């Protein structure tokens, strides 16, 4: 299956993607973790959010080089994400999926793209550092501006409520109950 290629700023094309689709993504993306989300909520988003992709990641940076930049656990940001989608962000990139609240917020607006957790060197090999916001938050929590080149991703949550992680979790619950509930 040939992956669909996407480039930022993203347009309504992302609305056609379905959970389980393989995609590659190029263009500018912005890292943001817990502290950056809190500050953006307070002070405003420092980049143009229209069609932007926000990457849940705290990279290892050495000088102007990105050494390792795999995704962090997206679920920590479940309650901190709505304002980004309201502002026009079209893609969230991370690992592990997000809560049902975010699945609803993505409807008709954007997608959640899963990058293989821990694949920090693979991810970094397709990234160039362009700049930084909020550097005072420290290496892990700052917003790094990154130029991505064909990041390999899978659509975890689509814009119609399709949720690969949710489906797997429901099946896991069934299997668990079958085995352990008397």
Partner 1 sequence: MEIIIEFISSLLMMLLPSGERLFTAVSEATCQAFRDAEVRLPPDVVAAIRHAAENETSPIAREELGRILENISLAGRLGVPICQDTGVPVVYLTVPPTVPLTAALMDAVADGVRKATREIPLRPNVVSPLDRRNSGDNTGPGMPAIHIRAGERLEITVLPKGAGAENMSRLAMFLPTEHDRIPRFVAETMLVAGGRPCPPVVLGVGIGGTFDGVAALAKEALLEPVDHMDPFEQDLCDAVNALGIGPMGLGGKTTALAVKVKTASCHTASLPVAVNVQCWAARRATREVVW
Question: Could you list the residues that contact partner 1 (CB under 8 A)?
Answer: 1, 20, 22, 35, 57-60, 62, 67-70, 72-73, 75, 95-97, 114, 116-122, 124-125, 138-140, 152, 154, 156, 164-165, 167-169, 171-173, 175-176, 179-180
Of 5, 37, 56, 150, which residue is the catalytic one?
37
Only one residue has tokens 């705290």, namely 58
37 half-sphere exposure, CB direction, 13 A CA radius:
20
Closest approach, Cβ 82 to partner 1, in A, equals: 20
Cα 20 from Cα 49, distance rounded (Å): 25
Closest approach, Cβ 85 to partner 1, in A, equals: 21
Residue 5 appears among annotated catalytic residues: no
Of 1 and 43, nearer to partner 1 (C-beta) is 1
Of 11 and 125, nearer to partner 1 (C-beta) is 125
**Length, in residues, of the chain:** 182
Of 96 and 161, nearer to partner 1 (C-beta) is 96
What is the token pair recorded at 6? 């996407």
User: Exposed (0-12), middle (13-18) or buried (19+): which is 5, by Cβ within 10 Å?
Assistant: exposed
Cα 5 from Cα 25, distance rounded (Å): 6
- Identify the CA nearest to 116 among candidates 94, 140, 99: 94
Cα 7 from Cα 30, distance rounded (Å): 14
Of 57 and 84, nearer to partner 1 (C-beta) is 57
Closest approach, Cβ 134 to partner 1, in A, equals: 13
Catalytically active residues are 37
């Amino acid at each position: 299956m040939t992956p669909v290629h996407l480039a930022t700023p993203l347009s309504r094309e992302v609305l056609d993607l379905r959970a389980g689709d393989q995609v590659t993504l190029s263009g500018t993306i912005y890292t943001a973790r817990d502290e950056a989300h809190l500050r953006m909520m307070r002070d405003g988003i420092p980049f143009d959010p229209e069609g932007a992709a926000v990457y849940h990641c705290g990279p290892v940076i050495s000088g102007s080089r990105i050494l390792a930049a795999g995704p962090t656990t997206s679920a920590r940001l479940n309650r901190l994400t709505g304002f980004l989608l309201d502002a026009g962000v079209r893609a969230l990139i991370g690992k592990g999926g997000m809560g049902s609240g975010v699945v609803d917020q993505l409807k008709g607006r954007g997608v959640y793209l899963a990058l293989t957790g821990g694949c920090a060197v693979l991810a970094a090999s397709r990234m160039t550092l362009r700049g930084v916001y909020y550097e005072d938050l420290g290496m892990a929590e700052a917003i790094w501006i990154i130029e991505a080149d064909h990041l390999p991703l899978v659509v975890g949550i689509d814009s119609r409520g399709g949720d690969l992680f949710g489906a797997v979790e429901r099946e896991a619950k069934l299997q668990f109950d079958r085995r352990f509930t008397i």
